[in-house]
């Protein structure tokens, strides 16, 4: 049994407003989450200037991930109740403002407060409310539309890594943060103004939903309390923890690892950009495939490929192989990313999707907090990322096993 959606139904308007929602969320995710993906480019310059260890600098990113996960639960609940426009406007101000303030840091507490707390709080609205809003507007093409929104994240990270490196080279890392912060602030706030909570606010129904107009499928689904007593929910929790640890460990430490191989920083940033760029192909190909095959299958394929890439990364020394490995890694995580929100809608319905999604995403961000810090500690201790990559490969295999055991809830 796959989580295949219902066939699409006709709508009265030539341009369904859901597509405007998707476009707006694309830009919101591009700047709020995409900008955060360039942290690895700033890691060495900040570490070198202040003589802070990589574990210490990585810990600020870990705090960022942890807070974004914790408050992502509340962001999902607020989105269920009030909608995304005001919420994502505030989040854009926090992330853009946090980047601006990063340009003036001189002490370690400033790094943790500006990047860990302010940007972390802002990022809490960048993932759960965006994809939960997509799930409300689309029944058919849900995985595809989620993937398109997530392409914003890929493009943001794809552009942020080389652009940030270029800005650092020409102007220094402080000015780079200043420019990025201003751009994030303007784009996020403007894009958020076009958002609507659900189709019923415009007397529409979700794309592909065979319910009367004005009665979207937000009435269908289990509560968080009901989800908490299911094996499926805790399986998802463990899957998300593994995915978060694996993904963010690589995104944070890939650039320093490549540079440690005596490869120029500009090339190292390009390797990260390839991973982000190819993730677009993962979202465009594996997203639609999930609509046909089911999101569970995409998760399994993704976890296997992630594990293989991490093992290969241990042995790679040449630039070409690094680019190929980064591309395969991006393809895998792009597909898994596109399936996160739809698989929860398939299992638990839409009524409390934001709250349930936020709760499950907390485990992703806990993994995202632990993974980079652990990798930084391992490098500081042994001057190598080898053990960190092995641990992440094992975690990815565990994610594959957990996904294989996942089954839909029994029908009442």
The reported pLDDT for the residue numbered 210 is 54
Sign of CA dihedral 17, 124, 329, 333: negative
Q: Quick one: what percent of the chain has pLDDT higher than 90?
A: 50
Average pLDDT, the chain: 87
Rounded Cα distance between 72 and 81, Å, is: 14
Measure Cα distances from 158 to 133, 162, 317 in Å. 24, 7, 23
- What's the pLDDT at 267? 94
- Taking residues 311-318, what's their average pLDDT? 95
How high is the pLDDT of residue 281?
87
In a domain, 5, yes or no: no
Q: Is the pLDDT of residue 219 over 50?
A: no
Please give the average per-residue pLDDT across 131-137, as a whole number.
86
* Stretch among 83-87, 121-125, 243-247, 277-281 having the lowest mean pLDDT: 277-281
How far is Cα 227 from Cα 3, in angstroms, rounded to an integer? 17
Mean pLDDT of 56-71: 88
Q: For residue 150, what are the CA distances in angstroms to 26, 89, 95, 282?
A: 7, 18, 18, 10
Give the model confidence (pLDDT) of 326-342 as tens digits. Answer: 999 999 998 898 788 88
pLDDT at 374: 95
Identify whether the C-beta of residue 71 lies closer than 8 Å to the C-beta of residue 121: yes
What pLDDT score was predicted for residue 412? 55
pLDDT, mean of residues 282-295: 78
Predicted pLDDT at 213: 36
pLDDT > 70: percent of the chain:
93
Q: What is the pLDDT of residues 351-368, one digit of tens each?
A: 787 788 878 888 998 898
Query: Is 56 inside any structural domain?
Result: yes
Within 8 A by CB and 6+ apart from 97, the residues are 118, 122, 181, 185
Q: What's the angle, vertex CA 324, arms to CA 318 and CA 329, rounded to 5? A: 120
Residue 234 domain-assigned (yes or no): yes
Q: Which helix (H) or strand (E) holds 259?
A: helix 231-260
Distance CA(298)–CA(57), nearest Å, equals 34
211 compared with 246, residue with greater pLDDT: 246
Residue 183 lies in a domain: yes
Domain that holds residue 361: 17-404
List 138's β-bridge partners, or say none.
207
pLDDT at 217 over 70: no
Instruction: Say what the pLDDT of residue 191 is.
Output: 95
Q: Range with the lowest mean pLDDT among 59-68, 217-226, 234-243, 262-271?
A: 217-226
What confidence category does residue 411 fall into, taking pLDDT thresholds of 50, 70 and 90? low
Domain presence at residue 412 = no
CB 134 within 8 A of CB 342: no
Residue 143 lies in a domain: yes
Q: What is the pLDDT of residues 170-184, one digit of tens each?
A: 999 999 999 999 999
Q: Are 342 and 143 in contact (CB under 8 A)?
A: yes
pLDDT at position 406 over 50: yes
87 inside domain: yes
| 141-165 average pLDDT score | 83
* DSSP-derived secondary structure letter, 207: B
Mean pLDDT (whole number) for 205-219: 53
**How confident is the model at residue 126, as a pLDDT?**
84
Q: Is residue 257 part of a domain?
A: yes
What CATH number should be reported for the domain holding residue 247?
Answer: 1.20.1250.20
How far is 103 from 98, CA to CA, in rounded Å? Answer: 9
Give the residue, 10 or 87, on which the prediction is more confident.
Answer: 87
Q: Compute the radius of gyration of the chain from its Cα atoms.
A: 20
Per the structure, how many domains does the chain have? 1
């Amino acid at each position: 049994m796959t989580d295949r959606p219902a066939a699409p139904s006709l709508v009265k308007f030539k341009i369904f407003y859901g597509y405007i929602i998707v476009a707006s969320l694309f830009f919101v995710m591009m700047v709020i989450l995409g900008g955060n993906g360039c942290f690895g480019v700033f890691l060495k310059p900040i570490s070198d200037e202040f003589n802070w260890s990589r574990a210490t600098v990585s810990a600020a990113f870990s705090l960022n991930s942890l807070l974004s996960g914790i408050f992502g639960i509340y962001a999902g609940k607020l989105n269920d109740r009030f909608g995304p426009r005001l919420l994502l406007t505030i989040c854009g101000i926090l992330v853009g403002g946090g980047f601006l303030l990063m340009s003036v840091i001189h002490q370690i507490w400033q790094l943790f407060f500006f990047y860990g707390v302010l940007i972390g709080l802002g990022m809490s609205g960048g993932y759960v409310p965006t994809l939960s809003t997509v799930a409300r507007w689309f029944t058919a093409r849900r995985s595809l539309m989620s993937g398109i929104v997530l392409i914003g994240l890929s493009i943001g990270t794809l552009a942020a890594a080389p652009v940030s490196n270029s800005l650092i080279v020409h102007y220094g890392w402080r000015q780079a943060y200043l420019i990025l912060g201003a751009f994030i602030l303007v784009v996020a706030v403007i894009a958020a103004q076009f958002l609507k909570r659900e189709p019923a606010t415009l007397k529409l129904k979700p794309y592909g939903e065979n319910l009367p107009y004005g009665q979207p499928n937000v009435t269908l689904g289990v509560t968080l309390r009901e989800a908490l007593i299911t094996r499926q929910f805790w399986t998802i929790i463990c899957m998300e923890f593994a995915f978060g640890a694996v993904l963010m460990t690589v995104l944070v430490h890939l650039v320093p690892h490549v540079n440690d191989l005596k490869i120029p920083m500009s090339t190292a940033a390009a390797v990260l950009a390839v991973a982000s760029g190819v993730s677009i192909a993962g979202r465009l190909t594996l997203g639609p495939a999930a609509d046909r095959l089911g999101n569970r299958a995409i998760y399994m394929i993704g976890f296997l490929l992630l594990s293989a890439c991490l093992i290969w990364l241990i042995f790679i020394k040449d630039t070409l192989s690094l680019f190929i490995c980064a591309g395969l890694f991006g393809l895998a995580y792009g597909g898994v990313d596109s399936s996160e929100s739809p698989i929860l809608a398939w299992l638990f319905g839409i009524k409390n999707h934001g709250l349930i999604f936020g709760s499950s995403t907390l485990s992703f961000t806990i993994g995202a907090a632990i993974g980079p810090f652990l990798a930084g500690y391992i490098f500081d201790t042994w001057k190598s990322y080898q053990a960190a990559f092995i641990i992440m490969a094992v975690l990815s295999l565990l994610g594959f096993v957990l996904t294989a055991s996942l089954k839909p809830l029994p029908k009442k």
